[in-house]
Amino acid sequence: MVTCVVLGLGLIGGAVTGSWLSGDSAGGAGTPDAFTAAGDLWHSIPVDELFPPTVDGEGAGPGGADRTWTRIAVAPDSGCKDAFDPLLRKALAPAGCLRLLRATYTDATRSHVTTVGLLFTKADSAAMGTLRARFNAQGLDRRRDLMPRPYAAQGTLAAGFGDDQRASWTVSVLTDAPVVVYAVSGFADGRTVTEPQPAEDAMKADATTPAAQGGLGHDAQGLADRIERSLRKTVNSATEKPS
């Protein structure tokens, strides 16, 4: 039997296998389109499907090396208060905040920590398109004053993962789902990072920042990409019609 645990009350240790993101059931008549189905996922899917306990990143590391990330914490589902720096919260405000889901992972060497977030918005498809266009045109996903905040779960390897420890990040505004996917990475030893760098830049072969040299851009981008793929796969499964 699957144990239903409401994330609003917290997951003990952030690793209850098969726990649901909410106690709500996924009722309702009819088959929603993919966009609507994606927006409803936060309260009807097991946490292990959105944030798998282990994520394999074949070829996701520097030089095409394989990566493996292990989940060490799942945050209680929440609103967006205090989850983003003020300017990022303002930039995302037009889409609204329905629910924010977050999990923190570590790499196989336990030297890096990365928080991945799924912001479920209140926006329709047109509004998400407008938001994405603004992020792209103004480079909002690359600005240091618009970095997402990490989830520093107490009693875990990420306990010291605060704002000053952010090293690399990525933010992706989807247009086929009312979701913003992001990830932010740092060193597990809690060191302060004075030169945070967007994942896209940190992954370049000639990048020399600590984030780049440590492969933290690859961690942020690799995890965000795979969590996004998992989300899309779940949406596709939810909207498939029986043959």
Task: Say whether 226 sits in a helix, a strand or coil.
Answer: helix
Task: Say whether 74 sits in a helix, a strand or coil.
Answer: strand
Q: Which residue has the higher pLDDT, 154 or 32?
A: 154
pLDDT digits (tens, 9 = 90+) for 41-63: 787 788 898 999 999 988 777 88
pLDDT at residue 212 above 80? yes
pLDDT at residue 146 above 90? yes
The pLDDT, as a whole number, for residue 198 is: 97
Q: Cβ(70)–Cβ(113) under 8 Å?
A: no
- Which band of pLDDT confidence, cut at 50, 70 and 90, is reported for residue 215? very high
- Please give the Cα distance from 71 to 157 (Å, whole number): 11
The phi-psi region of residue 148 (left if phi > 0; otherwise alpha if psi is between -120 and 50; otherwise beta) is beta
Q: Cβ(11)–Cβ(3) under 8 Å?
A: no
- Please give the Cα distance from 30 to 38 (Å, whole number): 15
The pLDDT, as a whole number, for residue 242 is: 55
Q: Which is it for strands 197-198 and 112-120: parallel, antiparallel or unpaired?
A: unpaired
Mean pLDDT within 99-119: 96
Q: Is the pTM of this model over 0.95?
A: no
Q: How many residues does the chain have?
A: 243
CA distances from 149 to 25, 53, 82, 135, 233 (A): 30, 21, 8, 18, 26
Displacement of CA 36 from its chain's centroid (Å)? 20
